[in-house]
Amino acid sequence: MKERLQKILSASGVCSRRKGEELIAQGLVTVNGQKAQVGDSADPEKDIIAVRGKPLGQSPPGLYIMLHKPRGYVTTVQDEKGRKTVLDLLSGVPGRVYPVGRLDMDSEGLLLLTNDGDLTLQLTHPSHEVGKEYLLELDTPEEDPVVGLTRPMSLDGRPLAPVQAKRVKEEKGRTFLLLTIHEGRNRQIRRMCQQRGYRLRRLKRVAMGRLSLGDLPPGKWRHLTAGEVAYLKNLGSIKDRG
């Protein structure tokens, strides 16, 4: 049965559908030796599909990884500045995986990685709005940060979706909060704190929907359970907000 090439590439674990379209447009995908065009279809059972001259094999098994990202690592596959990437922490993972979304270099905590391009696209699409919970450590401001961070706010001229905040504890001039957001704008929490005049000392993602970092040590990873994978794949229909 014929399918769109970008769907075949995604199912093979090569890349997401969007990236597949880019590879096709760049002339890097061939079908039976002929350069493919965006919009082409093929039969993976009968046609020889190659990316950069390398034929696709059978679809690899799905890999679904949770990593406790430490500070100091960038969330990319390669870094032009030679910095450490999260892939440097994945010794023993039996295949190639890609980050789902990002955590900036100075942030830490729960990061998902997979070779499932469709799931990556689903989880990073704004419409799914899965709740992401972060632990914030702030220099204690004069204003109550729970009130400050949950008041209406805009970034880049666009209003932010409502967030939830809860104070965890106060300790030696520091305030610890749990903040849940449903968007993924660039450096959103850091920019929210900056806009309110709060000094953010530490930012750690501790949960994504029903998935919790738990006691996974920094720099370590684990396979997601079958139940966790099923939950993630169902997010698109249930729009779980955590």
Positions marked active-site: 104
For residue 87, give the DSSP letter.
G
Render the burial of 28-53: b for 16+ CB within 10 Å, e for the rest: ebbbeeeebeeeeebebeebebbbee
- From the CB of residue 84, how many other CB atoms can be counted at a distance below 10 Å? 13
Q: What six digits make up the tokens of 158?
A: 């666009």
Per-state percent for the chain, helix, strand, coil, to nearest 5: 25, 30, 45
CA atoms within 13 A on the CB side of 98: 17
Q: What six digits make up the tokens of 232?
A: 């993630």
Residues 204 and 224: their CA atoms lie apart, in Å, by 20
Which amino acid, residue 13?
G
